[in-house]
């Protein structure tokens, strides 16, 4: 697991640290935007990569536009 964590980008590491409880895409984006000036396109690219790597999974919808994520 340590090798996996070392291989993550700074943004991926930050997203995993934020997920002590399930969070919505909006909550994650707002926190990241405060820390780093990240675009929405870059944010979704990072989330898609994390889903592909199996680091996070979608556990439902928070509302019409926002998904609820949980770290694995």
Nearest CA among 64, 61, 19, 34 for reference residue 50: 19
pTM greater than the 0.95 cutoff: no
Phi, psi of 8 (to 5 degrees): -75, 150
pLDDT in tens, 29-52: 888 888 888 898 998 898 888 888
Closest by CA position to 37, among listed 65, 11, 13, 8: 11
d(CA 65, CA 2): 34
CB atoms within 10 A of CB 52: 8
CATH number, domain containing residue 50: 1.10.10.10
Q: What's the total number of domains in the chain?
A: 1
> Is the Cβ–Cβ distance between 12 and 49 less than 8 Å?
yes
pLDDT (tens digit per residue) in 46-63: 888 888 888 888 888 877
User: Which residues span the domain enclosing 51?
Assistant: 2-71
């Amino acid at each position: 697991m340590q090798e996996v964590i070392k291989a993550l980008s700074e943004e991926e590491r930050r997203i995993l640290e934020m997920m002590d409880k399930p969070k919505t895409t909006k909550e994650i984006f707002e926190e990241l935007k405060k820390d780093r000036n990240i675009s929405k396109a870059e944010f979704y690219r990072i989330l898609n990569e994390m889903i592909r790597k199996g680091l996070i999974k979608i556990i439902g919808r928070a509302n019409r536009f926002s998904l609820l994520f949980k770290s694995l």
